[in-house]
Structure 1
Amino acid sequence: MNNSASTCPLCGQLNQCAQAGVPSPVASCWCFAEKIPPEVLEKIPPGIDRRCICPRCAKGLAATDNNNKTPQTAHK
């Protein structure tokens, strides 16, 4: 799996992180208002940075499912 700061460590899609690749702290990102369940963060494999996950994974959804074959992405 890609270990880039701009990809989700769970699904590999872009994470839409406003902080990814930016040296200074940002004032706003989608994840600042998102409550991410601890069990979602526990799914990040050992040895992978606990960086931003995408909005879909943050909600506990798989990268693709039967209702939506286009993954969305983001930060946490």
Structure 2
Amino acid sequence: MERAERAWREGEVPVNSAEGFVRQVAGWREYVWQLYWYFGDDYRQGNALGHTLVLVPSSLSFQAEVMSEPGAYTSTTAP
């Protein structure tokens, strides 16, 4: 995984390729779990990319079957 990160930082691969590789190796849930441990309690409230779409409550409880339903996301701006 460190080589994938280094390749991205050196401009050898696009970020989505490096990220996809890391996610496949680590597994998505393990990846997210480790982010919470690494960044701490404030991580859940962060919004580094400035996204404004409101997530439905089920997205916070990992209910994958609900997330695939039409209209699972709204285009409403977050408060």
Higher strand share: 2
| Rg (Cα) greater in structure | 2
Higher helix share: 2
Q: Report which structure shows greater RCO (CA 8 Å, sep ≥6).
A: 1
